Structure 1
Amino acid sequence: MTTDRTNAGSLRSRVYETLRRRIIEVDVPPGHRLIERDLAAELAVSRIPLREALRLLSAEGLVVNVPGRGTIVSPFTPSDVRDLFEVRAGVEVMATRLVTERVDSADLAPLRGVLAAAETCRDQPRRLTDLNADFHSELVNASGNRLLASLMRPLNSRLRWLFHLSIELDPVVQCVEHEAIFAAISRGDSPEAQRLALEHIENSREPTLALAAQWSIEEIDPRKATHARRRGPRD
């Protein structure tokens, strides 16, 4: 019984990671319909672990179930982009302040490691985009505020997805700005670190919104959409 549960969990995790990566890296675009029958055949799994994986993706805001259309990759509208940037401006600037104020005790090694890795892949846009997303996650983690980190955690997938959707904004520029933020944090200059963090967010807000108008689809009425949910197995 334990082995069966372990295998089922492993299948669910494999399907989840595969679909999550495809969505975040925009191999399947917003609005793309995810047909269970086809995915189950392609991934060589039954629909049970597939549906469990879809529920996890739904909880992260990456897929949505729409009556009459089935499960689709969530839309990412200009309104969604504005909301995410507003949250980032609050959470990330606060995290920057907390990290800088606690610089003597904060664990900066993960941030330093992300920046070092980014130096080695300036010619690999996808990899660099992932590392830039890692920088933002590690910045919040380094704040030492567990509540702040828990508030940001559900948004991490959508933030990473947004970075990939807007990859043409040049991730190298983003990386250079991260280095400036980290330098201010390291020397304990809280006002400058916060200023740079907010400037970093604002620099990409309007360009990202301009891109969002190109790759967003018609916004789905949340009253008509339901998150992917458990249904009885058919196989």
Structure 2
Amino acid sequence: MTTAEPLGAVRERVLAALRQDIIAGRLRPGDRLVERELAERFEVSRVPVREAVRALVAEGFVLFETPRRAVVRRLTVTDVDELFELREALEVYAAGRAAERAGRDGLAGLAEVLERAAEATRTRDAERITDLNTLFHDRVLAMAGNSLLISVMEPVGGRLRWLTRRNEQWPKLLAEHRALYEAIASGDPARARASALAHVHANHRATVRELFGEGGADGEDG
């Protein structure tokens, strides 16, 4: 006899799939999330779909235009600026701490991520590049050795991944990550912080250009 999948597990499966669809651009800003259609797609009841959509609202990916109409959120320049301000504050600090605490194993793991990212960049595998870039920053946070820092970043991690997916200057991103790796490996916290700051600023500018054009014209929610 087959054991039914627990409701919580169904919800998490649907949530993960929808989140990835948004990050990868398969669901675009303004697209509607219709419970009936999603329930049919995932072959589940509407209950886990409804819960997954509410979770996406809490994570900042989706909003309710009306009580019964959920759509993928359109980010504004202010949204982007605020997320990058948070990223700057936390990731620059993390890079400095990582430089102070980096051990041989941590650096080897970071270098291995860069090798995989280089291969993904050569093949222009967008989703894999995004996954590996996220993993690179996760490893830097782990090397900083501050569990509270990781817990603060976790709630906005998905939205940051969504934003950075819009930046397709992949060779430049790889070069910036290599520079950050070298700075951390040097053991010089000031150098690591400066490298992280330059990387965040460059990514911020590229993301704003991609989303809003050279003028950075603000979008509207809804």
TM-score bucket of the superposed structures, by smaller chain: 0.7 to 0.9
Contact 1:31–1:217 (CA<8 Å) still a contact in 2?
A: no
Alpha-carbon distance, 1:69 to partner:
6.0
Alpha-carbon distance, 1:105 to partner:
8.0
Distance 1:105 1:128, change over 3 A: closer
Contact 1:30–1:217 (CA<8 Å) still a contact in 2?
A: no
TM-score (norm 1): 0.83
Alpha-carbon distance, 1:149 to partner:
0.8
Alignment of 1:154-193 (within 5 A): 154-167=155-168, 170-193=169-192
TM-score (norm 2): 0.88
Encode CA deviations 1:46-83: one digit per residue, 9 max, x unaligned. 10111122222223211122226611112211111111
**2-structure distance, mates of 1:121, 1:208:** 20
Aligned length: 215
**Aligned partner of residue 107 in structure 1, secondary structure:** helix
**1-structure distance, mates of 2:11, 2:36:** 16
Q: Which runs of 5+ in 1 are unaligned?
A: 221-235
Q: Looking at both structures, which has the greater relative contact order when contacts are Cα pairs under 8 Å and sequence separation is at least 6?
A: 1
Alpha-carbon distance, 1:210 to partner:
2.2
Provide the residue aligned with 1:223 in structure 2. none
Contact 1:180–1:196 (CA<8 Å) still a contact in 2?
A: yes
Encode CA deviations 1:107-131: one digit per residue, 9 max, x unaligned. 3344233212112222224121221
Distance 1:10 1:68, change over 3 A: closer
More helix by share: 2
**1-structure distance, mates of 2:95, 2:108:** 15
Contact 2:102–2:187 (CA<8 Å) still a contact in 1?
A: yes
Q: Which runs of 5+ in 2 are unaligned?
A: none
